[in-house]
Structures are given as C-alpha cells and as structure tokens.
Chains A and B, each alone.
Chain A
Amino acid sequence: QQQVKQSPQSLIVQKGGISIINCAYENTAFDYFPWYQQFPGKGPALLIAIRPDVSEKKEGRFTISFNKSAKQFSLHIMDSQPGDSATYFCAANPPPRNTGKLIFGQGTTLQVKP
C-alpha cells in the first residue's frame, strides 16, 4: 500500500501546550519519514526527519516518535507557540530510492491560540 494516513485534519492548541500529529503507513519498504511545515502563502519546507533504526529524534521543541512494529510515527511540538501555526505534512519515501519521490499524508492544520 503506497499510502500514508495522517490525523487529525485540524488541531487547536493553547500556547504552551503540546501538539501531537499522527501518521500511519502500510508499506514496510519505506525507510525515511520526514515532516514538512507549510506557512500560509508559502511552499512546504522540511522540518525534521527520522529513519526507522531509531525510535525518537528531537530537534528543539520538535520530536518525532517512531513505532516500527505498529507502523506509526508522530510529531510532537512541545511548548507550542502561535508562530507554530501552520499546516504539517508527514511523508515517506516509496521505492525506488533514486527518484527522491515522497508520499505525503493528508495534512494537519495547527492553530496555536495565544
């Protein structure tokens, strides 16, 4: 299955709270899982990425948690700020690897209230 399923579609969090976005996949051939962040009027940009040989990757307030057996991964935004309000996409890389192709999830629109 060449799909990545993302939830929720939208999320509202208070400033200082934790935002959690989840993704699930079926194809065990995927071996790279990036998250992209898109601000209004801009194209998506790489935020953070993980490979399946680690269970967690942290960059500042952003953490990816990866559960290989469950074929799920999630993005956690700690101490969420209004500036984090954006659309977030999870993704995975289908074979063949040399194309650079990605399959994207459906997107989550995050609103952080001050």
Chain B
Amino acid sequence: DVKVTQSSRYLVKRTGEKVFLECVQDMDHENMFWYRQDPGLGLRLIYFSYDVKMKEKGDIPEGYSVSREKKERFSLILESASTNQTSMYLCASTPLVQGLRETQYFGPGTRLLVL
C-alpha cells in the first residue's frame, strides 16, 4: 500500500526559529514535492526533487530550502521562520514519468503555526 508520511501533524514555532519538516515515502518514487496549502490559494509548489541530491525551485521557494540525501526522504527547511509561513505543508511523491501521467501521492500534511 502506498504510503507518504510526514514527521509532524502539528507544529508551533517562534519567529526566527529554524524549522525542519520531514517527509518519507516507501514507494521507491523518484520525484518528491513540497507544497503549501492556503485557503483560496490552492496548493502552491515550493520545491521538488527528481533524484537524490537534485532539487528545483517551484513557484514560491523564497524563505525555504530543501534536502534530499536519501531517495525516500525529502526535507523542507525554513531557515528563519516568519509569521507569513504559517500554513499547511503537504509532501507528495510520484514515480519517474515515462510518457505517462502519474498520480501524486500525498502525505497527511503538517499544520505549522509561527508565533
């Protein structure tokens, strides 16, 4: 059964703190994604990775960085958390696409509150 897990369901941090959000998938997928979900704005792509140690910026990368040292794990880092980064963060994965349209499998999300 397909599984994407995220390290925390809820997280409360202070402004200026460094925050790590972790995502693990057990499907041997090549591609992994980090989104943030905000009401009225949908899902916006922060970063994605198509291989170990490879990453590309999405639509809203400012204030974020990522790390992918192992195929199954993709971490999102907020270097210095700010209140405007309060949001729901979703991780997803998908296998290498070879002319097909593959499903994205999502984790349950981490709701981050920055005070």
Residues of A within 8 A of B (CB): 6, 9, 32, 34, 36, 41-46, 49, 51, 89, 93, 97-107
With contact pairs A98-B97, A99-B97, A100-B97 given, residues A43 and B31 touching in the complex (Cβ less than 8 Å)? no
Q: How far is the CA of A102 from the CA of B44 in the complex (A)?
A: 10
Please pick, from B40, B48, B102, B107, the residue contacting A43 in the complex, using a CB distance under 8 A: B107
B residues whose Cβ falls under 8 Å from a Cβ of A: 4, 31, 33, 35, 37, 39-45, 48, 50, 56, 90, 92, 94-99, 101-104, 106-109
The tally of CB-CB contacts under 8 A between chains A and B is 65
B109: chain A residues at CB < 8 Å are 41-43
Min CB gap B54→A, angstroms: 11
Chain A residues within an 8 Å CB radius of B92:
43
Q: Are B43 and A89 in contact (CB under 8 A)?
A: yes
Given A43-B90, A43-B107, A46-B104 in contact, is the A97-B99 Cβ separation under 8 Å?
Answer: yes
